[in-house]
C-alpha cells in the first residue's frame, strides 16, 4: 500500500516535472517569437523611415531646384532692366552733352553778334525807335543817319512792295526830304489806280505818319510781319536779307478801319544795320 502510494507520488511528480518543462519551452518559444517579431517590426519601421527620408529629400531637392530656376529668371529680368537703364542713362548723357554744346555755340554766336554785348534785335530795335522818333518830328536828318549808304531807303505807300516802281531816296536826298518841292510818282492809289503824285512833304502827311506810331503803337514786333487787311504784305520777299521792326496801331474808330502798321526794314552792311525801306500797311478797299 505504501509502495503504491510512493509510486503514485513519483508518477505525479514526474508528470508535474514534464508539465513544467513543457510550459517553460512554450514560454521560451513565445519570447523568441516576440523578440523576432519586434526585430522584424523595427526593421520594417527603419525601412519605412528610410523611404520617407528619401522621399522628403527628393521633394526638398525639387523645391530648391524650382527656387533656383525662379531666382535665375529674376536675375535675367534684373539684368535686362539694368541694361535698359544704362541705355537710357547713356541717351540722357548724350542729350546733356548736345545741349551743352548748343549752349556753348549759342553763347559764342551771341558774343560774335555784337562786340558791344547787344544782339541784332537790340541793335535794330534801337535804330528803329530812333527812326520812328525822327518821323514823328519830321526830322529826316535822323532818318538819313540810319539809311543804307549804298541802297538808300525805298518808300512803299501800302504793304505790297513794288521794287521796280516804288521810289528810293539816298542818304543825301533824305536830309532835305521835307524841303523838296518836286512832285514824284510814288505808285498807284488803292481802289482807283490813279498815280500818287505828291511832294515828299505831302507824301509824308498822307502815306507815312498817318498814325502816331511812336506813342500809340499797341504792338511792336520783330521779324513777325503779316497781312492784316486786304493787301498782301510781301516785305520778306522784297527784302530777303532784311530784318523787320513793325509798329502796329489798332483802330480807334467804330468800324475799325483806321488801323495802320509801319514796317521798317534793316539790312546789314559793314557790320552794322541800316534802314532800306519804310513801308506803311493800312486798311484798303
In this structure, are residues 132 and 146 in contact, taking their beta carbons and an 8 Å threshold?
Answer: no
> Does domain 120-282 sit in CATH 3.10.450?
yes
216: its cell numbers: 500809340
CA 237 – CA 241 distance, rounded (Å): 9
Place of cell 549752349: 103
Strands 153-156 and 272-282: parallel
For the stretch 178-196, pLDDT in tens is 999 999 999 999 888 999 9
Of 58 and 220, more confident? 220
Joined together, the cell numbers standing for residue 285 give 478797299
pLDDT at residue 176 is higher than 70? yes
Average pLDDT score over residue span 111-138: 83
Highest mean pLDDT among 47-61, 67-81, 175-189: 175-189
- SS3 per residue for the chain: CHHHHHHHHHHHHHHHHHHHHHHHHHHHHHHHHHHHHHHHHHHHHHHHHHHHHHHHHHHHHHHHHHHHHHHHHHHHHHHHHHHHHHHHHHHHHHHHHHHHHHHHHHHHHHHHHCCCCCCHHHHHHHHHHHHHHHHHCCCHHHHHHHEECCCEEEEECCCCCCCCCCCEECHHHHHCCCCCCCCEEEEECCCCCCEEEECHHHHHHHHHCCCCHHHHCCEEEECCCCCCCCCCCCHHHHCCCCEEEEEEECCCCCCCCCCEEEEEEEEEECCEEEEEEEEEEECCC
Looking at residue 71, its pLDDT comes to 79
pLDDT digits (tens, 9 = 90+) for 211-260: 999 999 999 999 999 888 888 999 999 999 999 999 999 998 777 788 99
**Band of pLDDT at residue 177, cut at 50, 70 and 90:** very high
Distance CA 271, CA 63 (A): 82
Q: What is the pLDDT of residue 93?
A: 80
Measured from the Cβ of residue 151, the count of other Cβ atoms closer than 10 Å reads 17
Q: How confident is the model at residue 56 (pLDDT cuts 50, 70, 90)?
A: confident
User: Rounded CA gap, 74 and 20, in Å?
Assistant: 80
pLDDT at 115: 44
CA distances from 5 to 13, 17, 96, 102 (A): 12, 18, 133, 143
- pTM for this prediction: 0.60
Q: pLDDT at position 70, please? A: 81
Chain-centroid distance, C-alpha 123: 31
Amino acid at each position: 500500500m505504501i509502495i503504491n502510494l510512493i509510486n503514485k507520488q513519483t508518477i505525479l511528480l514526474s508528470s508535474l516535472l514534464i508539465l513544467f518543462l513543457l510550459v517553460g519551452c512554450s514560454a521560451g518559444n513565445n519570447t523568441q517569437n516576440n523578440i523576432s517579431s519586434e526585430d522584424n517590426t523595427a526593421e520594417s519601421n527603419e525601412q519605412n523611415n528610410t523611404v520617407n527620408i528619401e522621399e522628403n529629400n527628393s521633394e526638398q531637392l525639387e523645391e530648391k531646384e524650382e527656387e533656383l530656376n525662379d531666382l535665375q529668371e529674376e536675375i535675367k529680368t534684373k539684368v535686362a532692366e539694368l541694361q535698359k537703364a544704362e541705355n537710357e542713362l547713356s541717351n540722357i548723357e548724350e542729350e546733356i552733352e548736345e545741349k551743352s554744346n548748343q549752349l556753348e555755340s549759342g553763347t559764342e554766336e551771341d558774343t560774335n553778334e555784337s562786340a558791344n554785348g547787344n544782339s541784332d534785335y537790340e541793335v535794330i530795335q534801337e535804330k528803329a525807335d530812333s527812326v520812328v522818333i525822327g518821323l514823328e518830328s519830321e526830322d529826316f536828318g535822323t532818318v538819313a543817319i540810319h539809311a543804307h549808304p549804298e541802297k538808300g531807303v525805298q518808300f512803299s505807300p501800302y504793304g505790297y512792295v513794288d521794287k521796280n516802281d516804288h521810289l528810293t531816296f539816298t542818304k543825301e536826298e533824305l536830309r532835305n526830304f521835307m524841303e523838296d518841292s518836286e512832285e514824284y510818282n510814288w505808285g498807284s492809289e488803292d481802289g482807283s489806280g490813279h498815280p500818287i503824285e505828291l511832294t515828299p512833304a505831302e507824301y509824308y502827311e498822307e502815306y507815312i505818319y498817318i498814325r502816331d506810331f511812336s506813342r500809340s503803337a499797341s504792338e511792336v514786333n520783330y521779324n513777325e510781319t503779316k497781312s492784316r487787311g486786304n493787301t498782301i504784305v510781301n516785305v520778306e520777299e522784297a527784302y530777303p536779307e532784311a530784318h523787320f521792326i513793325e509798329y502796329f496801331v489798332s483802330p480807334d474808330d467804330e468800324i475799325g478801319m483806321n488801323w495802320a502798321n509801319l514796317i521798317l526794314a534793316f539790312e546789314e552792311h559793314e557790320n552794322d544795320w541800316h534802314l532800306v525801306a519804310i513801308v506803311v500797311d493800312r486798311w484798303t478797299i
